[in-house]
Amino acid sequence: MKHDTENSTVPSAAQPGRAPLIAMRSALPWIIAAVALALMPVVFASGSALTIMNQMAITIIFALAYNMLLGQAGMLSFGHAVYMGLGGFFCMHLLNQVEYNELYLPLPLLPLFGGLFGLIFAFVIGSFSTRRAGTVFAMISLGVGELIAACSIIIVVFFGGEEGVSGDRTMGPTVFGFDFASQLEVYYLTVIWLLLAALGMYLFSRTPIGRIANAVRDNEERAEFLGYSQRNVRWISFCASGFFCGIAGALFAINFEILTEENLNLATSGSILLITFLGGVGFFLGPVIGAVVFTLLQTVLSLYTELWQLYLGILFVLTVMFFPSGLAGLLAMHVRPWKIGKLGLLARPYVQIAGPGLIFVLASAAVLEILFHARHASIGAEQMSLYGISFNSHAVAPLAFALIVAAASLFIIARLAPALLEAWGDANHGDSP
Partner 1 sequence: MTRPPTTHAAVELQNLTKSFGLAKIIQGVDLAIDRGERHAIIGPNGAGKSTLFNLITGKYVPTSGSVLLHGENVSGKKPYQINRMGLSRSFQITNIFPKMTVFENIRCSLLWTMGYRYSFWHLIDRQNSVSQRAEEILDQINMVARRDELAGVLTYAEQRALEIGITIAGGADIIMLYEPTAGMSASETNYMVDLIRKVTEGKTLIVVEHDMGVVFDLADRISVLVYGEIIESDTPQKVRESTRVKEAYLGSVLEEAN
Partner 2 sequence: MSLFIVNILDGFVTGLLLFMLCSGLTLIFSMMGVLNFAHASFYMLGAYFGYQISTIVGFWPGLLLAPILVGVIGAAIERYGLRRVHKFGHVPELIFTFGLALLIEEVVQFFWGKSQMAFEAPDVLNFSAFSIAGNAFPAYKVFMIFVAMGVFLVLLYILTKTRVGMIIQAALSYPETVQNLGHNVPLIFMGVFGVGTAMAGIAGVMAGPVLGTFPGMAVVLGSIVFVTIVIGGLGSLWGALFASLLIGWLQTFAASYNVKMADILMAFGLNQPVDMTTSMLRDLWSLTLPQIGPILPYLLMVFVLAFRPQGLFGKRET
Of 162 and 218, CB closest to partner 1 = 218
CB of 318 to partner 2, least distance (A): 9
Name which of 187, 166, 152 is nearest 40 in CA terms: 187
How buried is 410 (Cβ within 10 angstroms: 0-12 exposed, 13-18 middle, 19+ buried)? middle
Stretch that binds partner 1, among 32-40, 132-140, 209-217, 408-416 (CB under 8 A): 209-217
Q: Which of residues 306-345 bind partner 2 (CB under 8 A)?
A: 307, 309-310, 312-314, 316-317, 320-321, 324
389 beta partners: 386
259 near partner 2, judged by CB under 8 A: no
235 near partner 2, judged by CB under 8 A: no
Under rule CB under 8 A, how many of the chain's residues touch partner 2?
A: 47
Give the x/- contact pattern for partner 2 in 59-98, rule: CB under 8 A: -----------x---x-x-x--------------------
Q: How far apart are CA 422 and CA 22, in angstroms?
A: 42
Q: Going by C-beta distance under 8 Å and a sequence separation of 6 or more, which residues neighbour residue 257?
A: 92, 95, 166, 167, 168, 169
339 near partner 1, judged by CB under 8 A: no
Stretch that binds partner 2, among 4-12, 182-190, 268-276, 328-336 (CB under 8 A): 268-276
Of 136 and 419, CB closest to partner 2 = 136
383 near partner 1, judged by CB under 8 A: no
Stretch that binds partner 2, among 134-142, 254-262, 383-391, 414-422 (CB under 8 A): 134-142
Stretch that binds partner 2, among 4-12, 82-90, 270-278, 397-405 (CB under 8 A): 270-278
403 near partner 2, judged by CB under 8 A: no
42 near partner 2, judged by CB under 8 A: no
325 near partner 1, judged by CB under 8 A: no
Under rule CB under 8 A, how many of the chain's residues touch partner 1?
A: 38
Strand-strand pairing, 383-386 and 389-392: antiparallel
283 beta partners: 2
Applying CB under 8 A, among 8, 9, 101, 135 the residue interacting with partner 2 is 135
Residue pair 249/66 in contact by the 8 Å Cβ criterion: no
The interface partner of residue 206, options being partner 1, partner 2, none and the CB cut-off 5 to 8 Å by kind, is partner 1
Q: Going by C-beta distance under 8 Å and a sequence separation of 6 or more, which residues neighbour residue 322?
A: none
Give the x/- contact pattern for partner 2 in 284-313, rule: CB under 8 A: -----------------------x-xx-xx
138 near partner 2, judged by CB under 8 A: yes
Of 75 and 186, CB closest to partner 1 = 75
Q: How far apart are CA 184 and CA 171, in angstroms?
A: 17
C-alpha distances in Å from residue 258, one per residue of 34, 165, 203, 252: 28, 6, 32, 8
Q: Which of residues 221-280 bind partner 1 (CB under 8 A)?
A: 221-230, 232-233, 236, 240
Half-sphere exposure of residue 310: CA atoms within 13 angstroms, side-chain side: 8
Binding site for partner 1 (CB under 8 A): 4-5, 7-8, 10-11, 13, 15, 18-19, 21, 203-204, 206-212, 214-215, 218-219, 221-230, 232-233, 236, 240
Binding site for partner 2 (CB under 8 A): 70, 74, 76, 78, 128-129, 131-132, 134-136, 138-140, 142-144, 146-147, 150-151, 154-158, 266, 270, 273-274, 277, 307, 309-310, 312-314, 316-317, 320-321, 324, 368, 371-372, 375-376
